[in-house]
Structure 1
């Protein structure tokens, strides 16, 4: 049986390693960490079916609207994102990642994705289901505690 303290330590180590990996990408692209986080949130919004808005981004980043605008201005100036008016409500602005930013990210992150895929190939599908539940529960628990700290 694996002790919970070992799981916490392993998650912490994984977080440090993935943070460092992302920092290297940011250094190579001359991007602030906040810009990287914003870009990731905008990219991930594509999977939810609901485009990211500047307001939702500000909330997710825990930043003021003006600070979020500065992040978006940098990302737009560097060619990573663009803003469009919603087709459903012209008053709303939607944020989208440019294909060039996706290609840049793929070039850097594909080797990590391939290495992780090879590492995970040794796990059976049922093990991966447990791992996915574990990670989802860990994310939910972290969000709940964080909400208590900021709320």
Structure 2
């Protein structure tokens, strides 16, 4: 039987190891951690088919408009992000990751993807469904607690 404390320790270890791995990517690309987080949010929005605006990015990252502009300026200058007018509403700006930047990220993450595939090969479909539910619930719990913290922290 695996108790909650063991799950918390394992989840924390995964977070720390993932953080180290992403830190290596940032060093290799000469990117700030905040920039990498912004890039991840923009890519996630792309995969969901939901364009992300600079305002929504600022909200998701809990950054001011000026700080978000600085992040986007750096990402745009390095070729990792493009800002373009929405085809549905020309007043709105949408953020996207160009194909070249996606290819560079894919190249860096390919070894990790392969290691994950190997590690997960021993899990059947039912176990994978349980793991996916566990991870989704853990993410939701983290987002909820973070939201409460943000609401109650002093300005």
Q: TM-score, normalised by structure 2?
A: 0.96
Secondary structure in structure 1 of the residue aligned to 2:66: helix
Which deviations, in whole Å up to 9, do the C-alpha atoms of 1:37-64 show, x marking residues without a partner?
Answer: 0111101101221111100100111100
Matches within 5 A, 1:89-100: 89-100=89-100
Paired residues in the alignment total: 151
Name structure 1 gaps, 5 residues minimum: none
Matches within 5 A, 1:2-151: 2-151=2-151
Q: Distance in 1 between matches of 2:42 and 2:109?
A: 17
Name structure 2 gaps, 5 residues minimum: none
Secondary structure in structure 1 of the residue aligned to 2:89: coil
Secondary structure in structure 1 of the residue aligned to 2:147: helix
Q: TM-score, normalised by structure 1?
A: 0.98
Aligned-pair RMSD on alpha carbons?
A: 0.6
